[in-house]
């Protein structure tokens, strides 16, 4: 009898864990697993990128193509189920510009087609124009004087010859373990002082610009400081006064030529051989009211819905490629993050505690104009130099802002922007992505993109560390910035990691810790 009771007791003990388990239907869903499945196995990021680049690229701020891309993104975000999808107006930006036709050819001493691109906001020519090439070899006002009255009707080359060296290293490079370790060991960044100084006065560049506008050449021609093998890096034209996109601004046609063709013409001129070029440039100005728009959409929160987690990237691009790595990649990833989170909510039945808000910014290429305007209109007052003046109530309700804008490379970690308080939080979140290559945290700052607009007014704003690949050597602001240079696996990885960061930020009991801020008025005192 005693043996039987002992056996029953042992059997009951073995069964207790089974009785203690909750029914499957009531178990908490594995949110991270759902996010990973959506981001890695059911990804739509390359399809999104294809629409933004092949169909709606390039997306120069103020251009009709950007307006079309904006309309497509608004429709897509609505179709996925996001709410409060709307355009956030800012400006005035100035005139829009669109390239309608361009060709440039060498006509003498021999014919060859030239690889070159006009700078944005260059005006049209009167059909095809022809003229000799002059190299403007001057570095002082005295040297400029020898060209007075000699440049009208000519093409003026303003750069020296650039000697090329053949590439012996790969163009696309991923961050090494040693480089990531150096970043992780770097100390806190030096704080930026409040900039109350005046800009420097008149210099030779301004003298040269005034001289060229007096001479009225057919066009000025330069070659960028980097790029070869047919890659051309191009940005915007300069005006005689003010900005080239200002209504009424006087702008000369300005062209950036591939370095190989520039060097060839330079060497011909150095040999005393005259060179004649032809060019047909047709452009169109648009955007009469000068106003532009960011794209905003939300996924509503629940018990902490008045607090917001923001994520985004810039939607605009330059005009020579299709804006793929800069920043179709970041925009496609952030739109994919919004889709992943919507699908995760539907599949799991779990709602975010805080409201999730995506922002796709325009005017970034001209100086973070869209995101700065959003911050000024909704979050905080800043002066003309970006210094914090005063905060608005909504500033305190933004938990964090996450940004992606360094090309197509996979995420390797996060720039903390000197905010050491978030390090243990991000470390825990990154732990599950070590196998994907993302594990580095650095206190250092990184600049040049829209997280700075939020960081400047005290909101925790972060840009992710990414593999550079060929971003700086080939695609950034160049004619080679096209869909073909996007890396699908890297974009999937990035979308998965960012979706997890956004979700975890939304579900925390506390908002993300902030660094201490002071207004410029307080600093002055």
Residue 407's region, left for phi above 0, alpha for psi from -120 to 50, else beta, is left
- Cα 83 to Cα 85: distance, rounded to the nearest angstrom: 5
Position 246 scores a pLDDT of 94
Helix (H, G, I), strand (E, B) or coil at 414: strand
Six token digits for residue 316: 């605009």
- Cα 461 to Cα 491: distance, rounded to the nearest angstrom: 21
Six token digits for residue 486: 């996007």
Position 23 scores a pLDDT of 37
Position 164 scores a pLDDT of 95
Asked if 397 and 308 touch (Cβ cutoff 8 Å), the reply is yes
Residue 61 CA neighbour count, 13 Å, CB half: 29
Tens digits of pLDDT across the chain (525 residues): 444 444 443 343 444 443 344 333 335 789 999 999 999 999 999 999 999 999 999 999 999 999 999 999 999 999 999 999 999 999 999 999 999 999 999 999 999 999 999 999 999 999 999 999 999 999 999 999 999 999 999 999 999 999 999 999 898 999 998 999 899 989 888 765 443 333 333 588 899 999 999 999 999 999 989 999 999 999 999 999 999 999 999 999 999 999 999 999 999 999 999 999 999 999 999 877 899 999 999 999 999 999 999 999 999 999 999 999 999 999 999 999 999 999 999 999 999 999 999 999 999 999 999 999 999 999 998 877 767 888 999 999 999 999 999 999 999 999 999 999 999 999 999 999 999 999 999 999 998 999 999 999 999 999 999 999 999 999 999 999 999 999 999 999 999 999 999 999 999 999 999 987 755 444 333
Asked if 329 and 409 touch (Cβ cutoff 8 Å), the reply is no
- 3-state helix/strand/coil string of 79-90: HHCCEEEEEEEE
CATH 3.50.30.30 corresponds to the domain 98-187+202-286: yes
Domain boundaries, the chain: 29-94+289-524, 98-187+202-286
Rg over alpha carbons for the chain, rounded to the nearest Å, is 27
> Which runs of consecutive H residues, i.e. helices, occur in 55-99?
64-80
- Cα 250 to Cα 248: distance, rounded to the nearest angstrom: 6
- Cα 171 to Cα 162: distance, rounded to the nearest angstrom: 19
Phi then psi for 289, rounded to 5 degrees? Answer: -85, -10
| Topology (CATH) of 29-94+289-524 | Aminopeptidase (3.40.630)
Bridging pattern class, strands 254-257 and 116-118 = antiparallel
């Amino acid at each position: 009898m005693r043996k039987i009771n002992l056996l029953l007791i042992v059997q009951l003990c073995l069964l207790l864990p089974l009785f203690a388990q909750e029914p499957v239907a009531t178990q908490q869903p594995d949110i991270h697993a759902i996010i990973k499945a959506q981001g890695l196995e059911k990804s739509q990021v390359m399809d999104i990128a294809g629409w933004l680049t092949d169909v709606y690229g390039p997306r120069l701020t103020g251009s009709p193509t950007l307006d079309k891309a904006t309309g497509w993104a608004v429709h897509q975000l609505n179709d996925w189920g996001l709410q409060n999808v709307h355009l956030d107006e800012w400006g005035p930006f100035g005139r829009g510009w669109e390239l309608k036709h361009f060709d440039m050819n060498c006509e003498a001493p021999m014919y060859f087609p030239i690889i070159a691109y006009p700078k944005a906001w260059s005006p049209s020519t009167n059909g095809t124009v022809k003229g000799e090439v002059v190299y403007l070899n001057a570095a002082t006002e005295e040297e400029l004087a020898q060209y007075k009255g000699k440049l009208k009707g000519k093409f003026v080359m303003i750069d020296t010859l650039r000697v090329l060296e053949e590439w012996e290293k790969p163009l696309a490079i991923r961050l090494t373990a040693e480089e990531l370790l150096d970043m992780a060991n770097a100390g806190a960044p030096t704080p930026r002082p409040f900039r109350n100084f005046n800009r420097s006065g008149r210099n030779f560049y301004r003298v040269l610009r005034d001289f060229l506008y007096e001479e009225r050449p057919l066009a000025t021609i330069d070659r960028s400081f980097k790029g070869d093998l047919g890659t051309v890096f191009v940005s915007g034209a300069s005006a005689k006064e003010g900005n080239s996109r200002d209504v009424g601004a006087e702008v000369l046609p300005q062209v950036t030529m591939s370095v190989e063709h520039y060097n060839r013409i330079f060497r011909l001129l150095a040999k005393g051989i005259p060179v004649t070029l032809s060019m047909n440039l047709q452009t169109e100005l648009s955007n009469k009211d000068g106003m532009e728009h960011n794209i905003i959409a939300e996924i509503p929160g629940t018990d902490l819905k008045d607090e917001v987690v923001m994520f985004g990237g810039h939607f605009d691009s330059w005009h020579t490629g299709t804006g793929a790595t800069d920043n179709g990649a970041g925009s496609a990833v952030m739109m994919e993050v919004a889709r992943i989170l919507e699908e995760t909510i539907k599949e799991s039945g779990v709602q975010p505690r805080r409201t999730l808000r995506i922002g796709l910014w325009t005017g970034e290429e001209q100086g973070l104009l869209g995101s700065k305007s959003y911050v000024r209109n909704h979050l905080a007052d800043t002066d003309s130099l970006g210094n914090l003046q005063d905060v608005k109530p909504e500033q305190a309700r933004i938990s964090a802002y996450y940004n992606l804008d360094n090309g197509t490379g996979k995420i390797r970690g996060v720039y903390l922007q000197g905010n050491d308080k978030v390090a243990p939080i991000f470390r825990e979140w990154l732990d599950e992505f070590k196998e994907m290559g993302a594990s580095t945290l650095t206190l250092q700052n990184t600049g040049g993109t829209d997280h700075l607009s939020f960081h400047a007014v005290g909101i925790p704003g972060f840009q992710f560390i990414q593999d550079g690949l060929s971003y700086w050597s080939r695609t950034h602001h160049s004619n080679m910035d096209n869909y073909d240079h996007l890396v699908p696996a890297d974009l999937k990885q990035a979308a998965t990691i960012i979706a997890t960061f956004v979700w975890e930020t939304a579900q925390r009991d506390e908002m993300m810790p902030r660094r201490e801020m002071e207004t410029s008025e307080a600093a002055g005192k």
